[in-house]
């Protein structure tokens, strides 16, 4: 548990530092560190161990509550609940696909109308789709172009697949607030990256900002769907596109990513030698210390 908590704090610090050093808010470092968190238990199991910390005596066979089993049971219940929510979201996306009507296909991505939607959203890993409200036909050509460019950017970047992987990481670390913060940061960074792509295609930032405001959602419709805009991140996105910030390129992210990989491998290889003392060995040790070192003297 201590190695996992240690690396999660380091990962959080690297993502936070990247946000300061990289004004473009590139999501690649966040994805890498979340992936390392997912495979960190595997690294702990397979990498060789080196005893660095001093040994610690452990007493076995004593009475007391099995705290390890209790914590494991609590974690398993949280993991099962989170996985159940994820499975429900996957089945819900299939139901949406069945209820929706395909009205167009752009770059191999199906555009499907669905009722009770406020704004467009991208979803689907293998069957890529863009869900749009039934008012799609009433939109102007300019609005349709902006919407399609934004949602297609999500699919070109494989954001739905990354979002699924992030949700799996959250299922394992459902108890960890720093991992939840990193997952939320990843979602916002994906939107920043798509905004950058759309603006590079020649869309007027003012028009794009107005479209985002029109389709802003109060909350995500599904943990696996990527709405075009959420109210919680709308202000920062509009500010960035009206006053674009230049990033520091990939050098900073590459350096921080290397630090993250090195930290994951190093922490998973650190071990602590332990000495196991049974109650019998403790009694024997106490008798040895209490014995008279000079038995011939009185």
Question: Residue 206 has which token pair?
Answer: 């003012």
Long-range contacts formed by 245-250: CB under 8 A, 24+ apart: 245/23, 245/24, 246/23, 246/24, 247/22, 247/23, 247/24, 247/25, 247/26, 248/21, 248/22, 248/23, 248/24, 250/26
From CA 191, how far away is CA 25, in angstroms rounded?
10
The Cα–Cα gap between 90 and 297 comes to: 81
DSSP states of 156-190? HTTHHHHHHHHHHHHHHTTT-HHHHHHHHHHHHHH
Residue 1: predicted pLDDT: 73
Low-confidence ranges of the chain (pLDDT < 50): 276-277
C-alpha dihedral sign at 106, 109, 112, 117: negative
Please write the tens of the pLDDT for every residue from 26-59: 788 899 999 999 998 888 888 887 766 565 555 5
């Amino acid at each position: 548990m201590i190695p996992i908590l240690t690396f999660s704090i380091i990962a959080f610090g690297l993502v936070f530092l990247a946000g300061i050093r990289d004004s473009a808010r590139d999501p690649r470092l966040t994805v890498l560190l979340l992936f390392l968190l997912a495979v960190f238990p595997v690294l702990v199991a397979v990498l060789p161990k080196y005893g660095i910390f001093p040994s610690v005596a452990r007493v076995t066979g004593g009475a007391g509550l099995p705290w390890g089993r209790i914590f494991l049971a609590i974690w398993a219940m949280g993991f099962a609940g989170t996985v159940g929510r994820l499975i429900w979201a996957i089945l819900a996306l299939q139901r949406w696909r069945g209820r929706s009507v395909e009205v167009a296909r752009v770059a191999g991505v199906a555009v499907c109308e669905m009722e009770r939607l406020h704004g467009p959203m991208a979803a689907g890993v293998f069957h890529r789709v863009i869900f749009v409200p039934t008012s799609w036909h009433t939109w102007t050509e300019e609005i349709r172009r902006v919407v399609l460019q934004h949602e297609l950017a999500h699919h070109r970047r494989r954001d739905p697949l990354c979002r699924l992987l992030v949700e799996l990481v959250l299922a394992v670390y459902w108890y960890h607030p720093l991992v939840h913060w990193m997952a939320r940061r990843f979602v916002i960074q994906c939107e920043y990256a798509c905004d950058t792509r759309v603006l590079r295609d020649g869309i007027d930032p003012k028009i794009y900002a107005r479209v985002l405001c029109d389709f802003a959602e109060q909350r995500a419709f599904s943990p696996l769907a990527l709405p075009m805009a959420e109210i919680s991140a709308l202000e920062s996105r509009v500010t960035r596109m009206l006053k674009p910030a230049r990033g520091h390129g990939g050098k900073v992210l590459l350096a921080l990513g290397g630090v993250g990989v090195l930290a994951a491998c190093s922490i998973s290889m650190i071990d602590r030698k332990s000495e196991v003392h049974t109650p019998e060995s403790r009694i024997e040790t106490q008798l040895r210390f209490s014995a008279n070192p000079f038995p011939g003297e009185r």
